[in-house]
Amino acid sequence: MNNQLDIGLINHNSKLRMFNFQTCLNVVNDPKSEERLDKSECTICFYKANTSGWAMTQHSCKICGLDLIAKKQGIGRICLQCAKNNNLCKICLCDLEFKYRSNSQEESNIEILNAI
Ligand SMILES: [Zn+2]
Ligand SMILES: [Zn+2]
């Protein structure tokens, strides 16, 4: 049995963690906010390297029905125009500022961040 530490594995994991750490910093600091908002993506979708869980491109926009593949809209569930009109992330469909939305007018602007 080999009980020696595998330095290669440790270095590999350290590299991955460092990359994750950098991603977390970018999510918090939002260094490319202009480019991100231009694409109508939330900070997590934009800075996360692997969006495969969300990346299932729909054939048509869930809101207006535009053909997303024919119009080369990239990954996403809604078209860029609908995302911008509704202040939504086009990939994961969350509010771009992670604001909680409600059907009733009074509650519509409660920010989740304030509740934490
Ligand atoms: Zn649309
Ligand atoms: Zn998103």
pLDDT digits (tens, 9 = 90+) for 33-46: 999 999 999 999 99
Kindly state whether residue 2 falls inside one of the protein's structural domains: no
Sorting pLDDT into bands at 50, 70 and 90, what band is 112? very low
Ligand 1 centroid–CA 63 distance in Å is 5
Full residue range of the structural domain in which residue 83 is found = 7-115
Count the domains in the chain: 1
d(Cα 98, Cα 82) in Å, to the nearest integer?
A: 17
- Other beta carbons less than 10 A from residue 93's beta carbon: 17
pLDDT at position 4 is 78
In a domain, 1, yes or no: no
Residue 52 lies in a domain: yes
Position 107 in a domain: yes
Ligand 2 centroid to Cα of residue 11, in Å, is 31
At 108, the pLDDT band (50, 70, 90 cuts) reads: very low
The pair of structure tokens assigned to 48 is 């996360």
Instruction: Flag whether pLDDT at 47 surpasses 60.
Output: yes
* Separation of CA 98 and ligand 2 centre (Å): 9
Cα of 114 vs centre of ligand 1, distance in Å, is 31
Q: Which residues pair with 111 in a beta bridge?
A: 99
Separation between Cα atoms, residue 66 and residue 76, nearest integer Å: 12
pTM of the predicted structure, to 2 decimals? 0.74
Ligand nearest to the CA of 98: 2
pLDDT bin (cut points 50, 70, 90) of residue 110 is: very low
**Band of the pLDDT at 97, cuts 50, 70, 90?**
very high
